[in-house]
Amino acid sequence: MNAKLISGTSIGNEIREEIKERVLKLKEGGCVPGLAVILVGDNQASHTYVRNKEKSSVAAGMKSELVRLPVSVSEDELLEQINKLNLDQTIHGILVQLPLPNHIDENLVIQAIDPDKDVDGFHPINVGKMIIGQRSYLSCTPYGIIKLLERTNTPISGQHAVIVGRSNIVGKPMGQLLLQRDATVTYCHSKTKDLASFTKQADILIVAMGQTKFIGAEHVKEGAVVIDVGMNRDENGKLCGDVDFDEVKNIASAITPVPGGVGPMTITMLLKNTLHSAETAFKSGNCCE
């Protein structure tokens, strides 16, 4: 293996220590940052993620509130729950775990969240602000990837970043954040012809396509920095990414593993956004009570 391993676990832990200290300060002032997670139904994967988020927020000293709703919950009842949390001064971040059951309109739900408590950064107001470079809550996965690049001193300005995947949660915002940092950005997706001809040009290759070990040696330029956002189970139920790690590690200059790469950073940035929301509420005298 030639590539340096970019550990989201250890960089995430560094940032979580910084978050913990700021949480302590807030608590001394009488404000406890609160994160509410709404989970609809009992999808197994969602359960695992939600438990992870709860554990992490409690470890950071925050309050975590889990709202579990049955899969049969109506859209109106869900919106009502969100509204209650919007008004609750002890809650600074609201996250509705996606995906939602088919009978519920995801867009409607996301738009119901107070943009100031939208710690996922999914609300159209926050997405719009992000695109024109105004301060907003940033989608946690792309935000975490930016932190990984920054903390490993990976140059971004002038580099060619190629993104595989164009979801609203990862691919699209990822490109915008890199563009703001003066990268040249190329988006690829499932309809892209001759994918390798694009990915092979990447100085920074970000893969969020949801296909187990799809990106192999033939897709990667010597010395590229490779970020694997994939979160798949292989035939043995083992967690693995969209990148064939064993192949690509010999070509890339740096690479993120799965697990232990992007995943822990996503949760870290969720905590960071929640902390920021609590600090803002505290400054304006609206925390707790």
Ligand X SMILES: Nc1nc(=O)c2c([nH]1)NC[C@@H]1CN(c3ccc(C(=O)N[C@@H](CCC(=O)O)C(=O)O)cc3)C=[N+]21
> Closer to ligand X at the Cβ: 116 or 120?
120
The residue annotated as part of the active site, out of 120, 203, 228, 244, is 120
Q: Which helix (H) or strand (E) holds 232?
A: strand 232-233
Judge whether 258 and 227 are in contact, CB under 8 Å: no
Q: For residue 165, say whether it is annotated as part of any ligand binding site.
A: yes
Q: How far is the CB of 169 from ligand X (least distance, A)?
A: 7
> Closer to ligand X at the Cβ: 38 or 183?
38
Is residue 12 near ligand X by the rule CB under 6 A?
no
> In terms of C-beta density within 10 A (0-12 exposed, 13-18 middle, 19 or more buried), how is residue 194 classed?
exposed
Is residue 95 near ligand X by the rule CB under 6 A?
yes
The residue annotated as part of the active site, out of 53, 117, 249, 272, is 53
Could you give the 3-state DSSP secondary structure of residue 165?
Answer: coil
Q: Using only C-alpha atoms, what is the Rg of the chain? A: 19
Contacts of 50 (CB under 8 A, 6+ apart): 37, 39, 66, 97
Contact range with ligand X by CB under 6 A, out of 27-35, 96-104, 208-216, 278-286: 96-104
> Closer to ligand X at the Cβ: 177 or 288?
177
Contact range with ligand X by CB under 6 A, out of 13-21, 46-54, 62-70, 187-195: 46-54
Is residue 1 near ligand X by the rule CB under 6 A?
no
Contact range with ligand X by CB under 6 A, out of 25-33, 176-184, 189-197, 261-269: 261-269
Name the residue whose CB lies closest to ligand X. Answer: 263
The pairing of strands 4-5 and 254-255 is parallel
The token pair that represents 268 in the structure block: 């870290």
> Nearest to residue 97, comparing CAs of 41, 57, 58, 144?
41
Q: How far is the CB of 46 from ligand X (least distance, A)?
A: 7
Q: Which helix (H) or strand (E) holds 67?
A: strand 63-69
Is residue 204 near ligand X by the rule CB under 6 A?
no
CA dihedral 245, 247, 248, 249 (to 10 degrees): 70
Is residue 239 near ligand X by the rule CB under 6 A?
yes
DSSP assignment letter at 287: S
Give me the residues that bind ligand X (CB under 6 A), please: 48-49, 52, 95-98, 120, 140, 231, 239, 258-260, 263-264, 266-267
Q: Which residues are annotated as a binding site for NADP(+)?
A: 165-167
